[in-house]
Amino acid sequence: MTTAFLNGEFLALEDAKVSVLDRGFLFSDSVYEVIPYYDGRGFALDAHLERLARSLDMLGISAPYDLDGWRTILARLVEANGGGDLAVYLQVTRGVPERRDHRIPENLAPTVVAFCQDRPPHDPTALENGIAAVTQNDTRWHYCTIKSTSLLANVLAADAARARGANEAIMVRDGAVLEGTSSNVFAVVDGRLVTPALRDTILPGITRGVVLDLAAREGIDHGEPETLSVDALREASEIWITSSIREIFPVTRLDDAPVGDGRPGPIWTRMRRALQAMTDE
């Protein structure tokens, strides 16, 4: 039986119900985090929780717990689900008003939901051969820095990518590369590892930050240019996508053309080993 957390109570996942008036359901008036656990230990847990706090603050939703409170809840939840390798989904909505209204009501008690899912191992074939990605015009709203549950544009873009035989869509706006539908984007351009500088249209990914820290530790030349053009991306010798669940994945085909020599590159191999060493600590 999978155990969930709902508004202060631990209960069976199938018994966790929220009101149809919940603003998260009606308006996507909510934020979330997905936190990977390795052998029962949260990876970059505080960074995830600090980003959650920032997202709540940007939407004006009262934080229902402080960092210690979140840590305690998640530790109990993971333990109740047997520990091991898990992905913990955590969502906070503005709460349940008395009636549906676009205007934001005052003094609502936030709804808090958390549950666990198995975190399956990566497909070794995909790691060996890489995955395909396509570029796509970005139709999302301008506040992607908030980890909001308003993900319909991301879902549709990802589905369109799958229809084109790709694993991910890389969002492009005014000729500039931003991020994937559920990932950040890295590229090796002229021997330098780059990822677009953070802005409102890019989520500050936790794994993105870890990769930049690891690059500095490994002595790899890297940077965050204000603009990474689509043309530069297409000329890159390596392209990666990063996320908490995917970790670092090599993209070896972009818009039906090979990236570099069409194989995962040496810098990706080095960085993946460094990240694996972190998760094993």
Active-site residue list:
147
- Compute the distance between CA of residue 237 and CA of residue 189 in angstroms, rounded to an integer: 6
Say whether 1 sits in a helix, a strand or coil.
Answer: coil
Which one, of 227, 229, 230, 201, lies nearest residue 134 by Cα?
230
- Compute the distance between CA of residue 175 and CA of residue 180 in angstroms, rounded to an integer: 15
Consecutive H or E run containing 112: strand 111-118
CB 97 within 8 A of CB 23: yes
Secondary structure letter of residue 139 according to DSSP = -
To the nearest 10 degrees (0 to 180), the angle between helices 45-59 and 67-80 is 120
- Compute the distance between CA of residue 26 and CA of residue 139 in angstroms, rounded to an integer: 21
User: Nearest 10 degrees: CA dihedral of 195, 192, 231, 265?
Assistant: -90
The letter for the amino acid at 281 is: E
